[in-house]
Amino acid sequence: MPTTAVLLIDCPDRKGLVAAIANFLVDNYDANVLNADQHQDAALGLFFMRVEFETELPCDDAQFRALFAPLATSMNLNWKITFPARPQKVAIFVSHYLHCLADLLHRHQTGELPCELALIVSNHESARPLAEFYGVPFHFTPVTPATRQAVEVQHLELLAANNIDLIVLARYMQILSPRFVEAHPLRIINVHHSFLPAFTGAKPYHAAFARGVKLIGATSHYVTEELDEGPIIEQDVTRVAQSDQLPDLIQKGRDLERLVLSRGVRWHLAHRILSYANKTVIFS
């Protein structure tokens, strides 16, 4: 059975990159390229590439690393190889708004999000029925100011014990500590219910209604130590009708949140996102 792998590269742009990489894959793996996409950041002089290839020859992480290292070093490549055959393990954190969770669970069931949903963590009990219906282990970890630190330790242990690859904050209303964030670089995806960088912080729909914007938005992004400042993965907007009151914005916004969060998770799982300079490249 052939092996499928995804190679992600970012590096200073220079002549001969594509030829060198293409030759490497042909010479070492007689590779069949399933998808390839490349981009540049002209201002920073950077080159980005994603190649998804198939090979009948032996190919695993250690072996690829050994073979590819000399070329990567000589061309100054940042790179990552992944093997989609190993399903990633995902934890979803959620509070009392369940629309994103319900959406992710249904998409997972229909095969749209190929991963193992290993955990649902919540500071409320309200998500338990959905978790049980879809057969995902549910962990109720209520948070108070006094227990915040202990709960976080518990979360870190849960994540480690389950070898979690990706944490999805599906409207999780607790702020993560720097320690937690640093432990999962580019491995936490959040949905913020505004068109970032507009309306950072709490109650963005209220702020949008007060400002009188004519479109509202939602954003999925990687979580970094700066709140709402991480690399943006996806954004979408919808028009505010003149008759819309605040509850209407909140309702319309829920649809945007579902869309941008599920797209972000799907692209992450497909290794289609590369981050640099606090931005993202989304490969097709």
User: Residues 116 to 155: which contact its own copies by CB under 8 A?
Assistant: 129, 133
Tell me which stretch binds its own copies (CB under 8 A): 27-35, 70-78, 159-167, 170-178: 27-35
Can you tell me the distance from the alpha carbon of 169 to that of 228, in angstroms, rounded to the nearest whole number?
Answer: 13
User: Residues 188 to 207: which contact its own copies by CB under 8 A?
Assistant: 195-199
Q: Which residues pair with 249 in a beta bridge?
A: none
Binding mask 35-54 toward its own copies (x if CB under 8 A, else -) reads xxxxxxxxx-----------
Q: How far is the CB of 14 from its own copies (least distance, A)?
A: 9
The pair of three-digit structure tokens given for residue 28, joined into one six-digit string: 């070492």
Residue of 228, 236, 244, 248 marked active site: 228
The pair of three-digit structure tokens given for residue 230, joined into one six-digit string: 């991480």
Instruction: Answer for the pair 274, 283: CB distance below 8 angstroms, yes or no.
Output: yes
Q: Give a three-class secondary structure readout of 46-91.
A: EEEEEEEEEECCCCCHHHHHHHHHHHHHHHCCEEEEECCCCCCEEE
Q: Report if residue 277 touches its own copies, rule: CB under 8 A.
A: yes
**CB of 165 or CB of 234, closer to its own copies:** 234
User: Residues 4 to 23: which contact its own copies by CB under 8 A?
Assistant: 15-19, 22-23
Q: How far is the CB of 280 from its own copies (least distance, A)?
A: 6
Q: First CA to last CA across the chain, in angstroms?
A: 25
Among the listed residues 31, 77, 170, 249, the single contact to its own copies using CB under 8 A: 31
User: Residues 208 to 237: which contact its own copies by CB under 8 A?
Assistant: 209, 211-215, 217, 231-237
Q: Tell me, rounded to whole angstroms, the distance of Cα 76 from its chain centroid.
A: 26
Amino acid letter, 197: P
Q: How far is the CB of 147 from its own copies (least distance, A)?
A: 29
User: Residues 86 to 115: which contact its own copies by CB under 8 A?
Assistant: 98-99, 102-103, 106, 110, 112
Best CA proximity match to 19, nearest among 58, 57, 83, 75: 75
User: Residues 244 to 273: which contact its own copies by CB under 8 A?
Assistant: 245-246, 251, 255, 259
Angle, helix 99-109 to helix 246-269, in steps of 10 degrees = 40
DSSP string, 84-134: TTSPPEEEEEE-S--HHHHHHHHHHHTTSS-SEEEEEEESSSTTHHHHHHH
**CB of 90 or CB of 273, closer to its own copies:** 273
Q: Is 37 a residue of the active site?
A: no
Q: Which residues contact its own copies (rule: CB under 8 A)?
A: 15-19, 22-23, 25-26, 30-33, 35-43, 98-99, 102-103, 106, 110, 112, 129, 133, 195-199, 209, 211-215, 217, 231-237, 239, 241-243, 245-246, 251, 255, 259, 277-284
Any idea which residues carry the catalytic annotation?
A: 228
